[in-house]
């Protein structure tokens, strides 16, 4: 199985500051034939289902604010929130969909400092 490891487990950032969440896969999730990284980021607010933020590692889902961005390739990926807003308090998960099982990271809890 591809193990997805997020860091940190929790993060406290001041409003307006940058938040960075990392995700490392135990093997590459880059599809050579498509040149796409099979990696997504989701946001889960308390009591709600997850919401897609980023797919193919760097494509922002329609309607997601442009302060959210994804980067990385191969085994190392980053979700960046450029200027933290109060409504960004949530759990964030990465997921690889390159192979089965389609594993998630353990989650990163983002709070306001």
Partner 1 sequence: EVQLVESGGGLVQPGRSLKLSCAASGFNFGEYAMHWVRQAPGKGLEWVSSISWNSGTIDYADSVKGRFTVFRDNAKNSLFLQLNSLRTVDTALYYCAKAGCSFTACYINYWGQGTPVTVSS
- Is residue 60 near partner 1 by the rule CB under 8 A? no
**65: closest CA among 51, 47, 46?**
51
User: Is residue 9 classed as helix, strand or coil in its secondary structure?
Assistant: coil
- Smallest distance, partner 1 to C-beta of residue 58, A: 12
> For residue 81, what are its two tokens?
């929130």
For partner 1, which residue of 28, 56, 64, 74 counts as binding (CB under 8 A)? 56
- Is residue 95 near partner 1 by the rule CB under 8 A? yes
Other C-beta atoms lying within 10 Å of the C-beta of residue 66: 7
- Smallest distance, partner 1 to C-beta of residue 65, A: 17
């Amino acid at each position: 199985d591809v193990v997805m490891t997020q860091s940190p487990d929790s993060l406290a950032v001041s409003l307006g500051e940058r938040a960075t969440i990392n995700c490392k896969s135990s093997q590459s999730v880059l599809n050579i034939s498509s040149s796409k990284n099979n990696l997504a980021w989701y946001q889960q607010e308390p009591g709600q289902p997850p919401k897609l933020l980023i797919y193919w590692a760097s494509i922002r889902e329609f309607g997601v604010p442009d302060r959210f961005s994804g980067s990385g390739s191969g085994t190392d990926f980053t979700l960046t929130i450029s200027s933290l807003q109060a409504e960004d308090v949530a759990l964030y998960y990465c997921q690889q969909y390159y192979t089965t099982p389609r594993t998630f990271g353990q989650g990163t809890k983002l709070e306001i400092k």
